[in-house]
Structure 1
Amino acid sequence: MTHHFAARLGPKDGFEPRVPADAGRLYVAELDSLLRSGHGRTAGRVEAVLRSHGRNASVRSRDLLRLAVAVYCADLMTPRRQSYDRWTRHIRLYLALEEPDPWQAEGEALTRLLRFLTGDHWELDIRPGDPEPWPASPEDDDSRGFDTVCLFSGGLDSFVGALDLLSREQRAVLVGHYARGSGATSVSQAAVGEIVQDRYGSAHAPLLRYFVSPPRQPGRDRENTTRGRSLMFLALGVATAEAFGARRLVVAENGLISLNVPLTSTRLGSLSTRTTHPHFIDMFRGLLRAVGLEVELELPYRFKTKGEMLRECSEPDLLMEGLPSTISCAHPEAMRFAGAPNTHCGYCLACMIRRAAVEAAGLKDPTRYVYPDPSSLSGKSAVDLKVLRLALARYAKKPPRMADLLRAGPLPGTDDERMQLLGVYRRGIDELRAFLASQGL
C-alpha cells in the first residue's frame, strides 16, 4: 500500500495528486503555515523567531525546511501498523519548493537518505511552487559575530556540548525544537537554556526555540517513532546558521547513541532515531553541498561515550546544576500514568545509558527516576533490561566486532575512524555492564 502525501506550499497552492481510487489521500496543511507567523500562531514560528533577531532564512534553507517539515509530517501521520510488516511504509511525497531544480537533481540521493533515516520506501514528486514572500528583516547589530550554531535539544549531551563550546568560544547560537505534546522537551530546553544564559548571557548564547508541529488530524492515529524529526531538527540548525552567517553546525551526541547498534537480531527495527549515525550524516553533508548550502556539520563527541563526555565536561559545576533538568528518557510523557509527568522512567535503554554514564563519570546522580531499581521491573517495563542483559552476555563471550556496528548501517571514513567507532562502542558497552553490576544485575 502506498501512502500518498501532498504537502502544499501556501494558500494559493491547490495541487491535488492523481492517485488510484482505492488509495487514501493524506494532506498536510500548507507548509509555510507551519513555519511562518500570521497563520493562527506566532510564538515559536521559524520566521518570527529569526525576525526577532533581525534575521531571515535564505530561499535554499527555506526549501530545506519545507522538505524536512513535509517528511516529519508524513512520518507522524502515517502509522506503521498499517504496513504489511507493521514497520516499513511506502510513502509518496508531493512537494512544492521555491527553487526545485537542485532538489530535483538530487532526487535519488534524497530518497536514499530518507530510506535510511526512517526505514521506509520513499518516492518524491518535487514541483515548483509560488509561496507568499517572506518579509525581509532589518539587520540586528547585536546578532553579528556568530560563527557557530549548536543544536540544543534539552538532552544531556547537547547541554554538555553547549557548555564545552561556550567555554572555548564564548559565543554560539543555540537551536531548540519543540512540538505539541512534547512537554518534557520544552521544559528541559527552557530550564537548561536559562542556566547557560545566566553564565554566558543571552547576547552571547541566544536560544532560538522553534515550534514546528504537524497539524491535528481528527480521527487519525499518529505514529510514535518520529524518526523524521531528525531531519527537521538538522534543517532548523542549518537554516539558523545560514541566517546568522555561521558556517558551523555543532551536533553534540555521544558515539554509542550515534551508532545505534541493535542489541539483538530482533531489534533491527529499533524505535531509536538515526539522527547522527555516520552514514546518515555523510549523506546529509553531501546533500547540503549538492544544493549549495555551505554549512559544515561537526560532531565533536562521535568518538566519546556519554560517560566520557560528562567526565571531561569543561564546566563541571554548571553540569551538576543542570543535570537534573536535562531529559534523556525515551518516553517521559508516558510517566503521567505513574503520577510523574515529564520525568525519567529509569528503565528504558536511554535512561540506563544515562545512569551508566553518570556513574562512569564518578558523579552523584540527582535525577529523579520513577523506577530507580531495575531489579524490581517486570512485564513491558523490563523489556529493555532483558534485551540489554542478553547483549551483555553475548559480548562477554565475544566482544563487539566491526560486523556488529555494520548491522546498523555503513560506516564511511578511514580505517582508523572506523576502529575509533568500534572502540567507543566497546567502552559504551562497558559502562552499561558496570552499571548493571552496581545494581546487582
Structure 2
Amino acid sequence: MTKTDTRHIILCDGVTIPQSLAGNIPAHRILSLVGREGLSNRNLTVNIQGFASHLMPKLPERTRDLIEIASFIYGADRLIKRGKTDQVEYNSWSRDLIFCIPVRDLSFWQQEEAKTIIVAALSFMTGDLSYDFYFTQRIGGDPITNLFHGPEYSTTEINSTDICPVALFSGGLDSLAGVISLLEQTSQKVVITSHRSNTLTTQVQKRVFEALQIAYPNRLRYHPLECTLKEERAAEETQRTRFFLYTAVGFALAQAYGQDVLNIYENGITSINLSKRQDLMNGRASRTTHPKTLALLENLFTQVFGKNFTIKHPFLHMTKSEVVDVIKTYNKQDIISKTVTCTKTFQKFKNNTSATHCGYCSQCVDRRFAMYATKLEQYDTIYDFDLTTESFQSSDARTHVVDYIRQANTFAKTHFGDFINTYLDPLSEITEFLSKDTCEEDEISDLHNLYQRHSTAVERAYRRMAFLHDSIYRPAIQNSIYTIVNGRRFQLDRVECLANEIADMLSKTLPIAISDQKISHENVLNSHIQAILKRDRKDYEREYPTVRFSFSTVIPDHSYTNADEDLFIESKYIRKTMPPSRVTDQIASDLMKYPLDAFKLFIVYDPERRVKDDQQFKKDYEQRSNCRIFIIR
C-alpha cells in the first residue's frame, strides 16, 4: 500500500523555502504565515496585553523567539487539516510539519539538542507523525508593537521585590479552582495568563476574571494572550498545539517576574486520559497536561531559561469532583456558572439559545457528573442538552455518556494487578515522569486509587441525578441516561451493543421491507438485510468507530484495519418444510469459521414460526459462544 504524503511546509514571516526542500512538496501544501504588523499579507495576530511597559526588557531574545515559534506552530495547526474524524487509523489522522522560522538567537535554536527537545514535546502532545525545523536569522529591528503590545490589563502595579506565583487560567472549572487555591494559600499577588482565540472565549475569561477581582481585590495581575488567524478561517479545530503556545507565554511571564515555577491546574483523570476507545488514541486524545508532556516542556523551558525551571501540576492526583470541592471549600461556588468547560463552544446551540455548554461532549459530561457528585448542581451553567432530564437526540450524545459510565464501571471492578496489566504501556509513560521521591509501584497505586475514587464519584453523582429526576411515579424518560443505566448497556462490550442495535433495527424494518413479497431463497433475504445495513452503515461507524462489521457468509480479510473488535452478521431462513434443527446445525458450523474473539450476530427469519421456544433455541449458543441469535418474524 502506498504511503500517503502528509508533509506540509510552513514559511514564517517571509522566509523563503530552503533549497533542499524546493520542488519536493506540491505548492498547495506550502503555507505562508505572517505575524509581523505592517505587512500586507499578515494572517496571524499575536499580542500579550501588559508586556509593553516594563516586562518586555526582562525577556531574553530566545524567550521572545520561543513565543513566536509557538505562535507559528499554533497557526499552522489550525490551518492544516487532519484526517476525517471517522478514520480509525493513526496514520490517517496525523501530519508531517516542516517549519521555516526566523529567530533572533540563531545559535541556540540551531543546536541539535534544542530541536530534539521541542520535536519530542510536540510529537507526543499532538500525535502528529513528525516535526522538523529550519531556523534562519531574523533580519531587521524588533519594534515593541510587533508582539508584546497593548494596554495594561491588571488591578495593581507589582514591585520588583514581590514574589508573584504565575498560573495558567483558561476560564474553566479546573483553572478557577487552581487560581482560587493559589490565592488562598498565599498572601502574595498572583499573575495569570490565558489564551484568547475567539470572541466567546474572551468573554468567558473576562467574566471569570472580573468575578475573581471582586472576590480577591487587588490580588491579580492578568496578561491575556491573543493569538488568532487574521482574515482566514480555521480548517482544523482540534488545536492540540494550543497548550504549547499557552505554556510558552506562562513561562515567559514567570521569567519576566523573576520566577522559576509555572502552575498548571487540571484534574488527574483528564490529564492522564486513559483512552475510553481505541479511536481516541494518538492525535485524537488530548495529552496537553499529561505528565510526559509537562516533563518535556519543563525540559525545553529549562534549556531556554539556562537554569532549572519547574512546572507544577497540583491537581494531578485529584478527580474532577475533588477539584470542584476546592471551590466549595473556599465558598466560591457562585463563580462556577461563569466558567466554560465545553469543547463545542464554537457551535450554535439550537435547543436553548442561552446555553453556554452543549451538555454531551466528554468535558460537559465530566463536569455534569462532578457537579452532582459534590451536590453543587444548582450552581452549574446552562446546557443545550440536559442529560439528567432529556432523551438523547443524537448518537454522539449517547456514546459519550455510555463511554463515560463504562470506563467508571471498568475501574470500579479493576483490582490493582489488573490495572497494571491492562494499562502497562500508558502507565509506564506516566510513572517515568512523576516524582522521583516515590517508587514506581507506589505511584501506580496512587493512580489506581485515583480512578477508584473517580468511579465512586460517578456512582454518587448518578444516584443523586436519579433521586432528583427519575421517580417511579413519573413517566419514564425514554432513551435517556436512566434507560442506559437500568439496562446496564454500559456493562456490555461495544461490539455487543452494536449487534443489539442492528438486531433491534432489523426486527422493525425487515418485516416492512418484505411484507409485500414472499421470500423464496436465503439469498433474497440476505440482499434485503444487506441493503438495510448499508443504508445505516455510516451512522454505525460514527457511533462505533472501533468495531468493524461485515455481512458475509465467508471470513473476510480484516488484516488492514486497526479496529478493536469485529462483528460478523449471518442470516438464516427457516422455510415451512425445514426443521429448526437444520438451522442450529448451520449456526454451529458457522461459529467454527469465525475467530473466537469476534462477535457473531445471527439473524434468523422464521415467518412460519417453526421455532416453538425461542429461548431454548438460542440459549445454548449464546451462553457458550461470543454471539447473539435474533429471531425475526
- For this structure pair, what is the TM-score category when the shorter chain's length is used for normalisation? 0.7 to 0.9
**Consecutive unaligned residues in structure 1, runs of 5 or more:** none
* Partner secondary structure for residue 114 of structure 1: helix
Residue 172 of structure 1 aligns with which residue? 190
Asked if the contact 1:3–1:78 (Cα under 8 Å) also holds between the matched residues in 2, the reply is no
Counterpart position of 2:458: 432
Match of 2:215 in 1: 199
Quickly say closer, same or farther: Cα 1:210–1:274, change in 2 above 3 A: same
1:153 aligns to what? 170
What's the CA shift for 1:162?
0.7
- 1:34-59 CA deviation, whole Å, 9 max, x = no partner? 9x9xx8999x822x531156544431
**Would the aligned equivalents of 1:333 and 1:343 in 2 still touch at CA under 8 Å?**
no
Deviation, 1:61, is 1.5
* Pair 1:215–1:27, CA change in 2 (3 A): farther
Contact persistence 2:191–2:222 (CA under 8 A): yes
Give the equivalent residue in structure 1 for 2:391: 376
Q: 1:310 aligns with which of 301, 315, 324?
A: 324
Contact 1:89 1:120 in 2 (8 A): yes
Aligned position for 1:107: 115
| Change beyond 3 A, Cα 1:102–1:198 | same
How far did residue 119 of structure 1 move?
0.5
Change (3 A) 1:79 1:21: closer
Which is higher, the Rg of structure 1 or of structure 2? 2
Cα pair distance change 1:408/1:90, threshold 3 Å? farther
State the match for 1:419 in structure 2.
Answer: 445
Measure, in 2, the Cα distance between the counterparts of 1:33 and 1:174. Answer: 26
Work out the CA distance in 2 between the residues paired with 1:74 and 1:409: 31
Moved more, 383-392 or 25-34: 25-34
The residue aligned with 2:230 is 215
Secondary structure class of the residue paired with 2:101 = strand
Q: CA deviation at 1:313?
A: 3.7
Q: CA deviation at 1:165?
A: 0.5
In structure 1, distance between residues paired with 2:412 and 2:17: 56
8 Å CA contact 1:261, 1:405 repeated in 2: no
- Unaligned 5+ segments in structure 2 are 467-481, 486-633
- Note closer, same or farther for the CA distance 1:198–1:363 as it changes in structure 2 (3 Å cut): same
Residue of structure 2 in register with 1:241 after alignment: 254
Q: Closer, same or farther in 2 for the Cα pair 1:268/1:365, shift >3 Å? A: farther
Q: Which amino acid aligns with 1:88?
A: S
Residue 256 to residue 73, structure 1, CA distance change in 2 (3 Å): same
* AA of the residue aligned to 1:124: F
List aligned pairs for 1:3-22, cutoff 5 A.
3-9=7-13, 13-17=14-18, 18-20=22-24, 22=26
Which string of whole-angstrom CA distances, capped at 9 and with x for unpartnered residues, describes residues 290-323 of structure 1? 23355421111111112112223476332x1110
Rounded to whole Å, the distance in 1 between the matches of 2:460 and 2:328 is 25
Shift of 1:273: 2.5
**Structure 1: how far apart are the matches of 2:165 and 2:126?**
28
Question: Could you say which residue in structure 2 is the equivalent of 1:76?
Answer: 78
One-letter identity of the residue aligned with 1:29: L
Q: 1:433 to 1:334 in 2, by over 3 A?
A: farther
Q: Distance in 2 between matches of 1:6 and 1:41?
A: 13
Give the match for residue 301 of structure 1: 315
Q: CA distance change for structure 1 residues 384 and 242 in 2, over 3 Å: closer, same or farther?
A: same
Indicate the SS of the match to 1:217: coil
Give deviations 1:120-141, integer Å, cap 9, x for gaps.
122222222225324499x996
Does the CA contact (< 8 Å) of 1:311 and 1:362 recur in 2?
Answer: no
Distance 1:341 1:132 in 2: 48
**Hey, what does 1:343 align to over in structure 2?**
356
Higher mean C-alpha deviation, range 353-362 or range 141-150? 141-150
Task: Name the residue aligned to 1:95.
Answer: 101
User: What residue number does 2:51 align with?
Assistant: 50
Distance, in Å, in 2 between the alignment partners of 1:98 and 1:321 is 46
CA RMSD of aligned residues (A): 3.2
Alpha carbons of 1:131 and 1:197: their partners in 2 closer, same or farther (altered >3 Å)?
farther
Q: Determine which of 333, 351, 374 is the counterpart of 1:361.
A: 374
**Shift in CA distance, 214/40, structure 1 to aligned 2, threshold 3 Å:** closer
- Between the two proteins, what is the percent identity of the paired residues? 23
Q: Distance in 1 between matches of 2:143 and 2:427?
A: 40
In structure 2, do the counterparts of structure 1 residues 314 and 201 end up closer, same or farther at CA, with 3 Å as the change threshold? same
CA contact 2:43–2:229 (8 Å) conserved in 1: no
Which of 227, 246, 249 is equivalent to 2:240?
A: 227
Q: Which moved more, 1:227-236 or 1:429-438?
A: 429-438
**Superimposed CA distance per residue, residues 348-367 of structure 1 (whole angstroms, 9 cap, x where no aligned partner):** 11112112222222323322
Q: What is the Cα deviation at residue 32 of structure 1?
A: 4.2
In 2 relative to 1, CA 141–362 (structure 1 residues): closer, same or farther, beyond 3 Å? Answer: closer
Name the stretch that deviates more: 209-218 or 327-336: 209-218
Following TM superposition, by how much is the alpha carbon of 1:15 offset from its aligned partner in structure 2, in angstroms? 2.1
Mapped contact 1:279–1:409 kept (Cα < 8 A) = no
Which range is displaced more, 150-159 or 246-255? 246-255
Q: Residue 224 of structure 2: SS of its match in structure 1?
A: strand
The equivalent residue for 1:280 is: 293
Post-superposition CA distance 1:317-352 (Å, at most 9, x none): 32x111001111111232434453661122111112
Q: Residues 423 and 158 from structure 1, CA distance in 2 versus in 1: closer, same or farther, beyond 3 angstroms?
A: same
Q: Deviations over 1:226-259 (max 9, x none)?
A: 1010101101111111122222211011111110
Deviations 1:401-437 (A, max 9, x none): 1343743871123413343233223322332343345
Which residue does 2:136 correspond to in 1?
A: 127
Equivalent pairs counted in the alignment come to: 427
Tell me by how many angstroms 1:62 deviates: 0.9
The whole-number CA distance in structure 2 between the counterparts of 1:135 and 1:163 is: 33
Residue 195 of structure 1 aligns to a residue whose secondary structure is helix
Distance in 2 between residues matched to 1:381 and 1:124, nearest whole Å: 40
After superposition, the Cα gap between the structure-2 partners of 1:341 and 1:24, relative to the gap in structure 1 and judged at 3 Å, is: farther
Deviation digits for residues 84-136 of structure 1, max 9, x if unmatched?
A: 84411111122221113333322122222111111012222222222532449
CA distance in 2, matches of 1:81, 1:3: 13
User: Does the 8 A contact of 2:411 with 2:451 survive in 1?
Assistant: no
Q: Distance in 2 between matches of 1:239 and 1:420?
A: 33
Q: Amino acid of the residue matched to residue 123 of structure 1?
A: D
Secondary structure at the aligned position of 1:213 is classed as strand
Structure 1 residues 313 and 397, CA gap change in structure 2 (3 angstroms):
closer
Where does residue 188 of structure 1 map in the other structure? 204
Q: Distance in 1 between matches of 2:451 and 2:54?
A: 40
